[in-house]
Amino acid sequence: MKAEGVEPDHLTWAVLARHYASAGLIEKTEAILKVTICGYAQRNFVSPLCNTGLKKIEEAEAVFGMMSIKWKLIAQNYLVLLKIYTRHKMLDKGEVEKADDVLQRALQQQNKKPLFTTYMTIMEPYAKRGDVHNAEKIFYCLRQANHISKISLFRALAQAYKNAKLPAYGISERMKADNQFPNKALAGQLALVDPFRKTPVSDLLD
């Protein structure tokens, strides 16, 4: 089009930007936004990926909301919004449920599987506040997605039980089943949540 001297209209720019964004081509998407008159494509057609530089996260969510009405979103769109939450440190500020909801919607799509790090980004805040129920839920989702278990996954799970001050049954056995073995730090965590660990009171009872 450039070679022919043709100037794309707003709709053409929007279509190009949307497809670049869906493909994860950030630089190309941002380049289109810079030349789009009055930010039309940014407001109405572009993936939330283009809004990672916005100061207000609400604007990215607004674009995402409009997209969900206009188009059938794919997993990549949801994962992009999760990246925005992470970049803006929103999960550290208590927005983990919102990110979790986005993750669950992404899981309903069959075209792309979230990365292991995406699950952990949501699981770790749950673990820090001792939310065992949701930590276990993310653990289950991760396994359903056929991700290979890693030490970091079990470390987060153990932390959830520790912060909730609840005994954790079977974590060691689950690790063995996945051919994972605790390092020194994790072994210390597991000892604290072991329901059968020795305490001064248990010694007296013995």
- Torsion from C-alpha of 185, 188, 189, 191, nearest 10 degrees: 160
Model pTM above 0.85: no
More confident site: 144 or 24: 144
The arithmetic mean of pLDDT across residues 7-14, rounded, is 70
The arithmetic mean of pLDDT across residues 100-127, rounded, is 83
Report pLDDT digits (tens) over 167-200: 988 888 999 988 888 888 888 888 888 887 655 4
Confidence bin at 16 (pLDDT 50/70/90): confident
Check residue 44 and give its pLDDT.
Answer: 43
Check residue 11 and give its pLDDT.
Answer: 67
Highest mean pLDDT pick, 18-32, 78-92, 118-132, 186-200? 118-132
Find where tokens 């991700």 sit.
147
Confidence bin at 45 (pLDDT 50/70/90): very low
Pick the closest to residue 113 from 76, 73, 163 (CA basis): 76
Is the pLDDT at 52 greater than 60? The verdict is no
**Residue-averaged pLDDT of the chain:** 75
Is the pLDDT at 201 greater than 50? The verdict is no
The arithmetic mean of pLDDT across residues 127-148, rounded, is 90
Check residue 84 and give its pLDDT.
Answer: 73
The arithmetic mean of pLDDT across residues 50-57, rounded, is 53
Tell me if 190 sits within 8 A of 158, measured CB to CB: yes
The arithmetic mean of pLDDT across residues 66-85, rounded, is 72
Check residue 123 and give its pLDDT.
Answer: 92
